[in-house]
């Protein structure tokens, strides 16, 4: 069992941002849909990306890996029926995106994943959306989770689905662009995680795909699109950046993170603005993010986290170190991630002495004096593991976080980056 052993530390130095997982996944998917050979630079090398690469390969794409570059020859909108079951691993994005695109194939496609995918990452909204389009799509266990079985074609031109989770919406937006229909209408109940839908729309913009967006509640996608091969460099990941940024804030340290596009559409970029509102001295300079020691104490805020739901665990950690009370609201979807993040982060921070209250769709955190703990658990959730590691940086003594191999899912440089910034961290 791998674990992190972490002691109180000060941070200093410069690191490069980790490549964006969300952009990497979309770049690979669009490369598969394209005609010709696309080049993707600076892609994230992680289990989720490997799952997406294997999935598009099973659908007929040809892939060559060269150092940090991918050469992907697409199936040009005509995916083949896979010879075997597609394994999404631990990736909800792979599950939902590939399930939608599989409806373009002639035969049956079966997609499954690990325990979290099969029991905690619902695919029911996407099933509903595809069924309304006339696609045969069922949960094999009839419980709204993977394994899922899909067979096209798309017959109808109007669909409805719940949009609290953005991934099924994004999946249908991408699929609709490549259908032989003049217009596909997508109607969304409870639209949520809007920045991540915007991220997908930005990719449609990249290929000049026409659509109408009516307040994220209704989309009209104009079909008959084809895309050619492209050359793309994956930008830095704001989701991963938050861990060294907040580590610097709670230890009152100076760091710089390179290669971040302040104009990128990633949802977690909004957290930087939240940190500034709390009193943090964080600013952009060219393509760098600079964190300076704060002259003033950071103050807790009421934060609607729906636009950056993956940031809930690390914001809960920050709440333990800032003045007053921090409320993380509109967070229910965090229960349907790799773990039930509201329950899990509450449980683990309480082990350290945190004053934290879990509610149905929110967390309330008050400034706390945390104590080291040698038995913290990641619950096989990368964002829990990294958040607890950050929490340990301003606590006397050693803390241990168990089962940390999951960190590679989104931030495979996490350990190396912390070490390079001077953190007292080692493997146990």
Contact at 8 Å (CB) between 70 and 64? Answer: yes
Contact at 8 Å (CB) between 390 and 314? Answer: yes
Give bridge partners of residue 139 from the DSSP assignment: 148
Q: Cα–Cα distance between 241 and 18 in angstroms, integer?
A: 8
CA-to-CA dists, residue 142 to 122, 147, 174, 337, 369, angstroms = 11, 9, 26, 20, 47
**3-class secondary structure for 156-194?**
CCEEEEECCCHHHHHHHHHHHHCCCCCEEEEEEECCCCH
Q: Cα–Cα distance between 135 and 129 in angstroms, integer?
A: 9
Catalytic residue among 87, 114, 310, 381: 310
CA-to-CA dists, residue 226 to 198, 232, 322, angstroms = 21, 18, 51
Give the residue from 5, 23, 122, 109 showing the smallest Cα distance to 60.
109
Contact at 8 Å (CB) between 408 and 47? Answer: yes
Give bridge partners of residue 72 from the DSSP assignment: 38, 63
Q: Cα–Cα distance between 80 and 137 in angstroms, integer?
A: 17
Q: Is 162 a catalytic residue?
A: no
Which residues form the catalytic set? 310
């Amino acid at each position: 069992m791998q674990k992190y052993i972490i002691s109180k530390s000060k941070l200093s130095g410069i690191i490069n941002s980790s490549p964006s997982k969300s952009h990497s996944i979309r770049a690979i998917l669009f490369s598969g849909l394209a005609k010709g050979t696309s080049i993707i630079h600076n892609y994230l090398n992680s289990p989720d990306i490997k799952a997406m690469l294997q999935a598009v390969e099973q659908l007929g794409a040809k892939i060559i890996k060269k150092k940090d570059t991918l050469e992907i020859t697409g199936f040009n909108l005509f995916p083949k029926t896979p010879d075997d079951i597609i394994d999404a691993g631990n990736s909800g994005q792979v599950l939902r995106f590939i399930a939608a695109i599989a409806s373009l194939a002639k035969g049956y496609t079966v997609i499954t994943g690990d325990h979290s995918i099969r029991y905690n990452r619902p695919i029911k909204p996407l099933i509903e959306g595809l069924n309304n389009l006339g696609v045969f799509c069922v949960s094999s266990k009839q419980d709204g989770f993977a394994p899922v079985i899909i067979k096209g074609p798309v017959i109808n031109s109007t669909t409805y689905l719940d949009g609290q989770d953005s991934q099924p919406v994004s999946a249908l937006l991408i699929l609709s662009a490549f259908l032989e229909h003049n217009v596909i209408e997508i109607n969304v109940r409870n639209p949520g995680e809007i920045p991540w839908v915007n991220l997908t729309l930005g990719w449609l913009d990249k290929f000049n795909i026409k659509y109408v967006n009516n307040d994220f509640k209704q989309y009209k996608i104009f079909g008959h699109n084809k895309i050619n091969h492209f050359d793309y460099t994956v930008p830095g990941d704001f989701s991963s950046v938050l861990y060294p940024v907040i580590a610097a804030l709670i230890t009152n340290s100076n760091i710089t993170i390179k290669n971040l596009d302040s104009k990128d559409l990633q949802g977690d970029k909004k957290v930087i603005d939240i940190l500034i509102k709390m009193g943090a001295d964080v600013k952009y300079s060219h393509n760098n993010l600079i964190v300076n020691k704060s002259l003033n104490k950071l103050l807790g805020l009421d934060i609607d986290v729906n636009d950056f739901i993956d940031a809930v665990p690390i914001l809960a950690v920050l709440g333990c170190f800032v003045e007053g009370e921090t409320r993380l609201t509109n967070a229910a979807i965090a229960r349907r991630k790799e773990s039930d993040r509201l329950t899990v982060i509450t449980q683990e921070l309480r082990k350290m002495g945190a004053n934290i209250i879990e509610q149905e769709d929110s967390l309330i955190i008050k400034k706390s004096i945390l104590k080291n703990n040698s038995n913290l658990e990641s619950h096989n959730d990368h964002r829990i593991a990294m958040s607890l590691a950050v929490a340990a940086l301003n606590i006397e003594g050693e803390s241990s976080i168990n089962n940390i191999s999951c960190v590679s899912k989104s931030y495979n440089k996490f350990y190396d980056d912390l070490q390079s910034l001077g953190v007292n961290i080692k493997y146990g």
